[in-house]
Every structure is written in structure tokens, then in C-alpha cells.
Structure 1
Amino acid sequence: MEIRHFRYFLAVARHRNFTRAAEQLDIAPPTLSRQIQDMERTLGTRLFIRRQRDVSLTEAGTALLAEAEATVRQFEFAQRNAQRAGRGEIGHIELGYVASAVYSGVLQRQVQGFCAQFADVSLSVRESPMALLPGLVAEGRYDIGYIRSPMTLPDGVEALRLGSEGFVLALPQGSWLLGLKAITCAHLQNETFILPEQISGTLQVAAQGGYAPRLGPQPGGLVAVIALVSLGQGVAVVPESVVGHVSLPGVHYRTIEGSDASSWLSLIYRRFEKAPAVARYIQHVKHKLVPTGPGGVGSSPPTA
């Protein structure tokens, strides 16, 4: 028997009349009658007591009724779920991110916006070392990732540029630089730079000051970088979004006058992504991108 047989059976049981059931099913009454007879032959028992004007269920038909209803419900549920999965409305996404995606608010806006629209897609969201994240996306350990660009990506991984932001200087209590009215790139020539995972800001500041930077340790995430600054181990060039979000004793943030060093967050993903839920997330982010002026595009509202 096929699912259509159960639907035919339920229609006759509901209407207690072959003609009315056939009208609902949009088939000819003789066709419906033959389909029910086929069911009865397959089951080896009568399902309906046929009278001149109506029909009623036999004991076998009554026993089949609840099971047929459950079978049709389950089939329709499975059909809807398969269709929704194909449209990316249900599924699962593994998402990795670097800390500055949280400090900027980009991760929160995009994840919450997606979840509000596609509540049946589950997300596993974890912080990841930035140096490893592109490779983990390429390998399929993560479906998508938020990194701070620029950085080299593996073959098959693409980046969608989000909002740009500048850098600030994190320096320890007692630094001679705090006595300056304005700190420029040149003032940092003899400083030791604690390196975040994305070192482009440090290199840009040194290049604008005209010197090779004295490179200190690279301890990992931004909190670890700021912790070393608080211990007096050096200064650090960090994204502006850190200000107000990472506050440690003995750490001060200052603007670097005359520096136009900047970086941007990127959403990275596999070029030929086949999972519908992941493709739906990527499309959701692309749809939300709006122009932010000469610097490119960013998520709305712009990165703080």
C-alpha cells in the first residue's frame, strides 16, 4: 500500500460516503471505490460496511483508523521537514569566531537576526584561535567563521567583508607615553609591541612611523594581549571595539594620532557550500550588508 491509499481510506471514513470523499480528493467515485477494494484485498478484510446511501467502518476499519491518521501525519511532517531542510529553514551550523567579532557587536547582530528568522536552525558557537579558524572551515570542522582580516585563506574558502574599524593603543600605567598630549606612530619606535592574533595593525603603525617594530610575545586572544600590557610587558595596537569591553587594572587606551591603520571583520565560508542551512546563513548576512562609505561595506548598524 502507498500513502495515497491511507488518504483515500481516511476521506471515506470522514465523509462516510464515497461520492463526497471522491469530490474532496478530486478523483472519480469508481476510481476511489477500486482503490479501497485494493486495500481490502491487500489486508484480507473488509474496511467498510457498504449501504445504499452511506458507509460505516467495520471493526477492522476502526482499528486501522487511528494508525492511518498517525501514518499520514508522520508522512506529512517528514515531507515538510525535508522541504524545509532543502530551503535551509532547519538544520545545524557550526560557527567559530574571534573575540573582536563579539566586542564589535557584529556577531551578536548577525546570529540573533538569523535565529529570529530561522528559529529551527540550531547553532553551535565557539571562540577559536584565528590562525586555525580558516583551516577548520576548509576541513569542515566549522561551517562558517568570523575572522579579522586581512589574512591568507586556504583554497576553497572565501571571505565576505564586513565593517571596518581602526586601531587604538593599549599601554600600561606608568608609561611615559601617558604624559604626551598626543601619541603619534613615531613615538612608539622604541616600544615593545605585544602582538594580537592579527598583527596588521602593528605593522601598519610601524610603517607609518618609519621604523621596524620591536616585536614582543604573541600570547593569543585579545584579553591575553591586554593582560600582558597590564603587567607592563609592552604596548599593543588593538581594534577600537576593545575599548569599553576589555577593562583591566593598569591599562589605558589612547588614540594614535595621524594613523589610518585599519582592519575589518570577515565572514569566511566554503566556496561551494552545499548545506542549505549554512547557505541560508551566508545569504542572510549578504542581504543585511549595506554601504558604509569609502571604506566598503558593513553590517547594519555599522561597527562601533
Structure 2
Amino acid sequence: MELRHFRYFLALADALHFTRAAAALGIATPTLTRQIQDMEAELGVRLFARSQRSVTLTPAGLVLREEARRAVAQFEAAQLRAQREARGETGALALGYVASAAYAGILQAQVAAFRTRYPAVTLSAWEAPMDTLPVSLREGRLDVAYVRSPMALPPGIEALRLPDEPFVLALPAASGLAGLARITPRHLSGETFILPEQISGTLDLAAQGNFVPTLGPQPGGLVAVLAQVSLGQGVAVVPGSVEGHVSMPGLVYRKLSGARLSSHLSLLWRRHETAPAIRRYVALVQAGG
């Protein structure tokens, strides 16, 4: 017995009229009659009591009607779930991000757009040290990741460059530099640099100022870097988006003059990814969603 037999049976159980049930199914009346007879022969019971004027369900037919409804509903639900999974409308997505990504606004906008378009996908997000994100992605603990570029990537990882933003200088409020109208790379040659996870801004600044930077600690997350600056331990080159989001006593931000510096985030994913939900997320970001 096949699922179509249940559909035929339910159509007749609802209509209690062979001609109307056959029309609803789009089949000929003799075909429906034969299918019902085959069901009854296979089950060894009468499902319908027939007379010249009426068709009614037998007690066995009444029981089968309820079970058949559940069976058809479960099959249709399973079919729908499979189709939605294949379209990337369901499933799960694990997202990792470096701390500074949370200040740029891009991360929130892209996650919100994905949640709006695919509300049935379970999306989880974790902040993590930047150097761990590509490895977690390669090993399957994460599905996509946001990092500050440039950085070395393991084989099999793709990267999409996201829009640039300027770097700014984080200074101790008591620093003499804070009172200057213009701060150029050359002004920083004697400073100690507290290093964020992405150090390219510091190295580029030193190269443009033609000096070798004095490197201080690299305490990890961006808030820890700024805390060190606020305590007078040095200065830091940080993404400009941080200025509007992180303030501390003893900490000021200043723009850099005469410096050609910019920072950008990159979205990472596995090159040969097959999971539909992950491919959907990447496609949305690639399309500028």
C-alpha cells in the first residue's frame, strides 16, 4: 500500500461520493473505485458501506481515517522540512567574530538581514580571539567568521573583503600628543604601542613615519588594549568605529594626519561548503545584504 492510497481513501472519506471524490483527485471514477477495492482487499476489511443512494464509512474505515490523516500530514511535514533544508531556510549556523567586528555595525546588519530572511535557521554567535577563528572554521566548530585583515589563512578557507574604515589613535588623556592640532606618524616615533590583535595598522603607521615602533604588550581583546592605554601604558592604533562605542576615564581618540591607513573586516568560510544555510549566509553578504 502506498501513500497515494491514503490520499484516495481520505478524498472519498470526506466526500462520501465516488464521482465528487474522483473529480477532486483529478482521476476517473472507475480508477478510484478500483483503488479503494484494492485497499480493502489488501487490508481484508470493508472500509465503506455502499448502497445505490449513499456511501458511508464502516467502523474500520472510521479508524483508518484518523490514522491516514496523521500519516499524510507527517509525510507532508517531512517533505516540507526537507525542501526548506535544501533551500537553506532551516538548519543551524555557528558564527564567530573578533571583538572589534561588533563595533563596526556590519556584523549586526548582516546577521539581522539573515535572520529576517531565514528566521527558521538557528544562528549562534561567539566572540573569540582572532587567531583561533580560521582554525575553528577549518575544523568545523564554526561555519563563518569575521576577522580583521590581512591575516594568514589555512588552506581551504575563502575570504570576502568588507568595506574599509579608517584607523584612529587611542591615547592616554594625559599624553602631550592629545593637545596637538595635528598628529602625524612622525610624532609617534618615541611612543610605546599597545598591540591589538590586528597589528597591521601599527606597522603601517611606523613605516609611513620612517621609524621602528617600540612594541608594548598585546593583551588580547580590544577593550583590554584600550584599558592599557587609559592606564598610560602606551598608545594604540585601532579601527575608527571603536571611538563611538568604547569610552574610559583617561582615554581619548585622535585622528591621524598625513597617514594612509585603513582597516577592514573579512568574512571567512570553507571553500567547498555544501550546507545550504551556510551558502545562503555567504551569498547574502556577497550581495551586500
Amino acid at match of 2:12: V
Secondary structure of the residue aligned to 2:130 is coil
Pairwise CA distance, 1:100: 1.9
Amino acid at match of 2:260: D
Pairwise CA distance, 1:10: 0.3
Q: How many residues align?
A: 289
Farther off after superposition, 47-56 or 112-121: 47-56
Amino acid at match of 1:64: L
Q: Does 1:96 align with 2:87?
A: no
Pairwise CA distance, 1:34: 2.1
After superposition, give the CA deviation of every residue in 1:30-78 in whole Å (9 maximum; x if it has no partner).
2222221222222221111112243110001111111111111111111
Q: Does 1:142 align with 2:142?
A: yes
Q: How do 1:1-304 residues align onto structure 2 when only pairs under 5 Å count? A: 1-288=1-288
Secondary structure of the residue aligned to 2:49 is strand
After superposition, give the CA deviation of every residue in 1:216-269 in whole Å (9 maximum; x if it has no partner).
111111101001111111100000000010111100100111111112111110
Secondary structure of the residue aligned to 2:126 is strand
Which structure 1 residue ranges, 5 or more long, are not aligned?
Answer: 290-304
Farther off after superposition, 44-53 or 229-238: 44-53
Amino acid at match of 1:154: P
Amino acid at match of 1:34: R
Question: Structure 1 vs Structure 2: percent identity of aligned residues?
Answer: 62
Amino acid at match of 1:8: Y
Distance in 1 (alpha carbons) for counterparts of 2:255 and 2:10: 74
Distance in 2 (alpha carbons) for counterparts of 1:154 and 1:27: 59
Which structure 2 residue ranges, 5 or more long, are not aligned?
Answer: none
Pairwise CA distance, 1:107: 0.8
After superposition, give the CA deviation of every residue in 1:259-301 in whole Å (9 maximum; x if it has no partner).
1111211111011110001111111111126xxxxxxxxxxxx
Distance in 2 (alpha carbons) for counterparts of 1:179 and 1:277: 51
Distance in 2 (alpha carbons) for counterparts of 1:288 and 1:60: 59
Distance in 2 (alpha carbons) for counterparts of 1:173 and 1:140: 44
Distance in 2 (alpha carbons) for counterparts of 1:279 and 1:245: 31
Distance in 1 (alpha carbons) for counterparts of 2:216 and 2:48: 86
Pairwise CA distance, 1:99: 1.8
**1:17–1:53: 8 Å Cα contact kept in structure 2?**
no
Distance in 1 (alpha carbons) for counterparts of 2:235 and 2:41: 85
Pairwise CA distance, 1:98: 1.2
Pairwise CA distance, 1:122: 1.0
Distance in 2 (alpha carbons) for counterparts of 1:191 and 1:147: 27
Structure-2-length-normalised TM-score: 0.97
**1:92–1:123: 8 Å Cα contact kept in structure 2?**
yes
Pick closer, same or farther for the CA change 1:53–1:285 going to 2, 3 Å. Answer: farther
Distance in 1 (alpha carbons) for counterparts of 2:73 and 2:121: 22
Match of 1:296 in 2: none
Distance in 2 (alpha carbons) for counterparts of 1:127 and 1:211: 34
Secondary structure of the residue aligned to 1:162 is strand
